[in-house]
Chains A and B, each alone.
Chain A
Amino acid sequence: MGKSWSGPELEQALRRAVNRSVPDVYEQVSRQSPPTLLNGDGVVPSQSPGRRGFAWVALLVLLALIGGGAWWLLGRNAPVTLEEAKAIALEYAGVSAGEASFTKVELERDKFRQVYELRFSTIQAEYECEVDRRTGEIHKLETRPLAGPPPEPADQLLTAAQAEEIALAHAGAAAEQVREKKTKRESEDGQTYYKVEFEAGSMEYEYKIDAYTGAILEMEWDEED
């Protein structure tokens, strides 16, 4: 039986592979002689400030406002449908539509966004997922195995560092990129796990890692405010 890849796992594998093979063309590009500035008629544009500069700024602000308004209107008019949201959630979880039964389908609204809250289960696990109605992005995916593994002897408990390593590897974050890392061991309903929180890039991550098996029980990520 081959490995079953979830959406985030596939994306992370692609990200890591691209990061490893991205060529460094910086030196070659910077060695080229300073560029001739292009414009429609081949004349280097004047950078001098003054009334013309102000007119440009005003025009750009106006364009930005019009663009922002159009973006907002378009965003409102073309939401992701519930069926699309369900399909996105299943895809991310790596579950086929035939295996899953949905137990919760709600559209939550707050001031800034609308989110489909979905819960579905298969024979092995229950999933909770939030899908942004406007963008189709996944905000949260939680997985709970329904038939948990038998309890392991206490001497096989992972260290906090091992749990962190699993979480970082899954997020595709290098140790030097990680900020505000916090790891705690907690127990809930007889299950012991490490809660690993950290920030990398502009994202915040929260993982729950089974303290015995190293399995990822829950993961949640969001853009920092």
Chain B
Amino acid sequence: MTQSVQAEERRLDGARCEELLAGIGLGDPGDFETFYQATNRAIYAYALSLTRSHYDAQDLMMETYLKIRSAAHLYRPQGKPMAWVFTITRNLARDQQRRSDREALMGDCPPGTLALAAEAPGEDALVLRQAIQVLGAEERQIILLHAVSGLKHREIAQILERPLSTVLSKYRRGLAKLRTALRAGEEG
């Protein structure tokens, strides 16, 4: 990958993402690469919050980008390109769940099935592992989207189709739960 692409702004600028989607719709590989660089962390984080498994999240991420490439021309600019992208990810996660007929996605996966790439010891990896283990499905999605994609609570509320007050309270409750779990882990 080129330096210029690596240096490209990684935060999700709505207007820029829309331009890139338009370029992807016309089959421009450069626009796809730039879009990938700007969104891969956020899409992975959301996929991880849905699947709770690094490997399922990786598959989901790949399917999401394939779908973006084949459907970008159908995107109609409304100022919310990432809401469109996350809807694709969520729908694909549902398909994946139906296909595999597992209960692992979108909710109550037994902690034993958890598989993360961040197996290396380290405080950050521990926080992520705890977040995936102790948070409820929506708390996980809200906290990871907020932390990684830089989306505001109001934007997350729209993506998840939940009221802002619910998103805020789940965010708060999730952070408190995570903090308690980390403290218990240190003391235990």
Chain A residues in the interface with B (C-beta under 8 A): 2-5, 7, 10-26, 28-30, 32, 34-39, 45, 47, 60, 63-64, 67-68, 71, 75, 78, 80, 84, 87-88, 91, 94, 134-137, 201-203
Contact = CB atoms under 8 A, between A and B. Distances in A.
Given A2-B186, A32-B66, A84 B147 contact: no
Given A10-B178, A22-B40, A29-B62, A135 B186 contact: no
B98 interface: no
A224 B70 CA distance: 34
B77 A37 contact: no
B74 A38 contact: yes
Q: Chain B at the A interface: mostly helix, strand, loop or mixed?
A: helix
A45 B1 CA distance: 31
A21 B116 contact: yes
A35 B66 contact: yes
A201 B58 contact: no
Contacts of B45: 18, 22
Interface string B125-161: 1011001000000000001101110001110000000
B61 to A, nearest CB: 5
Given A21-B117, A23-B61, A35-B66, A15 B147 contact: yes
A7 B175 contact: yes
B124 interface: yes
Contacts of A37: 25, 70, 73
B143 A14 contact: yes
Contacts of A10: 127, 147, 175, 178-179
B69 A25 contact: no
A6 to B, nearest CB: 9
A82 B117 CA distance: 40
- Give the one of A2, A36, A75 with max B CB within 10 A: A2
B65 A25 contact: yes
A67 B78 contact: yes
Contacts of A12: 147
A165 to B, nearest CB: 17
Nearest to A25: B62
B108 interface: no
A88 B171 CA distance: 9
Interface string B163-188: 11100110110011011001100110
A201 B73 contact: no
A13 B78 contact: no
Choose among B13, B26, B116, B178 the residue with the greatest number of A CB atoms under 10 Å from its CB: B178
